Amino acid sequence: MEEKNKRETFSTGFAVFFATLGSAVGLGNIWKFPYLIGTNGGGAFLLVYLLCVVLVGIPIMSCEFYIGRKSRKNAVGAFKKLNASKGWKTIGFMGVASAFLIAFFYSSVAGWVYSYVFKAIKGDFAGVTLVTANTKFMSTLVGPLSPIVWQFIVLCVVSIILIAGVKNGIERITKTLMPVLFILILICDVRALTLPGASQGLKFLFHVDFTQLTGPVILAALGLAFFKLSLGMGTMLTYGSYFTQSNNMIATSAKVALSDSLISILAGIAIFPAVFSFGLTPSEGPGLLFKTIPLVFSKIPFGSVLLVAFFFLTAIAATTAMISMIEVPVAYFTEEKGIGRKNAVLLTTSIMMVVGILATLSAHPTSVLGNIHILGQRGFFDSFDFISSNILLPIGGLLIAIYVGYFVKKEDFKLELSNQGTLNNDLVLNIIYIFIKFISPCLLIIVFFNSIGIIKL
């Protein structure tokens, strides 16, 4: 940063796309999406998820980009800069809280992935069977010491990259490795599709059985859409604040949402055929990825190398997603509290480490803290996830849509998103505005009230 008041920006449109995709693509696609499809009954969940991405995700991402680039501020400072009345800052504070809650369990799962890279390099998965895949995962998960050490390593890596700054750190990594991850998932797909009984997995993933759709299932799909696209907590807002003035932000939103969904579906195609072929159950839960992928790569040429590459790239994807998540509190602490960037990063990641241990030690019923329940039947791990994904992010998204739809002048919104009239996208802007003002908020309210039982669909 050359001048004190000059914020860094991403260098090109290409870099903007990959950095934003780097935030969206992560454990959400490869770990959470398949396991939630598995526990929520398959195709019907997928359909609702995709509807949420289009009807709510893209409009809200556009709103976040708008607020971020227009204000060139962090999630809390942005509302002040745009002269919004004081209460709107709440969105920013909720975002900072969500970043912490997500990071508590996300760093834990990222730690399992890092440890799988290490195990795969050591050749631990040679001759893997259903039984050994299961034991390996359980020992990774239950620890108790090793998952904490891996979580610590993850947070150290993330801190180092974050201290290096926006451009140097985030851009370089995402631009190079995203395409490689994509190719690797495609290789997995080819392998999975040639397994005996693969079609059963595809049927599970794509067959829509509407009887599966209950209030909580729909809420879970909505929460996943927010989590996946890093929405409702100011991450995309903060990234928007680093965008160049010439970026077509509506196009970026659509491209990121669609590419991200494609990667999730491809991950599903890699996993479900294998689940059925190797005799696992789709509703396996958080271990689904970790149990199936070693089996997918077993007994094929170069399988052990591909397995290392797969977990390595998943680790990178998890790391870049975490970087964007942690950027929310870091930008807040540096810009609003005047804390230096390095100290802000260390403060944030230290809190994440200390409280994150609670998530790590409660990830399974047999874990050290596995029998402590704080939200109904949920332990720390699941509660951090539920409160952030299914409550805070959708409420954050709703407030963002209401702010832009009702408290920002339509002309201002259109001017910013058409790059001062240079883009010629009037029709698209009018359509997206209708979504922001009416459709997305209504859907959010209906899903939310339905899931807490105030209205019955």
Question: Please, which residues have CB within 8 angstroms of residue 34's CB and are 6 or more apart in sequence?
Answer: 267, 268, 271, 272, 288, 289
- Paired with 378 in beta bridges are 375
Least distance (Å) between residue 31 CB and ligand PFF? 8
CA separation for the pair 53, 261 (Å, rounded)? 8
Q: Which of residues 231-260 bind ligand PFF (CB under 6 A)?
A: 233, 235
Cα(132)–Cα(152) distance, integer angstroms: 26
Query: Of the listed pieces 47-55, 196-204, 226-234, 372-380, which binds ligand PFF according to CB under 6 A?
Result: 226-234
16, 50, 321, 330: residue in contact with ligand PFF (rule CB under 6 A): 321
- Judged by CB under 6 A, the stretch of 222-230, 288-296, 345-353, 357-365 that binds ligand PFF is 222-230
Which of 9, 20, 23, 425 is the binder for ligand PFF (CB under 6 A)?
Answer: 23
Placement of tokens 């807490």 in the chain: 452
* Interface pick for ligand PFF out of 70, 136, 191, 228 (rule CB under 6 A): 228
Number of other CB atoms surrounding residue 63 within 10 Å: 29
28 binds ligand PFF (CB under 6 A): yes
- For position 26 contacting ligand PFF by CB under 6 A, the verdict is yes
Q: Which of residues 87-106 bind ligand PFF (CB under 6 A)?
A: 102
- Residue with the CB atom nearest ligand PFF in the bound state: 28
Among 227, 242, 276, 435, which residue sits at the site for ligand PFF (rule: CB under 6 A)? 227
CA–CA separation, 436 and 153 (whole Å): 40
Q: Is the dihedral of CA 153, 125, 109, 369 positive or negative?
A: negative
Residues 296, 226: Cα–Cα separation, whole Å: 29
How near is the Cβ of 321 to ligand PFF at its closest, in Å? 4
The least distance separating ligand PFF from the CB of residue 191, rounded to whole angstroms, comes to 23
Would you give the distance in Å from CA 117 to the centre of its chain?
21
Q: Is residue 144 reached through a cis peptide bond, with omega within 30 degrees of 0 on the bond before it?
A: yes
Applying CB under 6 A, among 40, 107, 140, 324 the residue interacting with ligand PFF is 324
Stretch that binds ligand PFF, among 22-30, 135-143, 336-344, 420-428 (CB under 6 A): 22-30
Rounded CA-CA distance 39/260 in Å is 21
Considering only residues 27, 269, 309, 353, which one is a binding residue for ligand PFF as defined by CB under 6 A? 27
Q: Name the residue nearer to ligand PFF (CB basis): 292 or 320.
A: 320
Helix (H, G, I), strand (E, B) or coil at 272: helix
Cβ neighbour number for residue 318 with a 10 Å cutoff: 26
351 by Cβ neighbours in 10 Å (0-12 / 13-18 / 19+) ranks as middle
User: To the nearest whole angstrom, how small is the minimum distance from the Cβ of residue 160 to ligand PFF?
Assistant: 18
At closest approach, how far in Å is the CB of 325 from ligand PFF? 4
Count of residues of this chain found to bind ligand PFF when the rule CB under 6 A is applied: 15
Residues that bind ligand PFF (CB under 6 A): 23-24, 26-29, 102, 227-228, 230, 233, 235, 321, 324-325
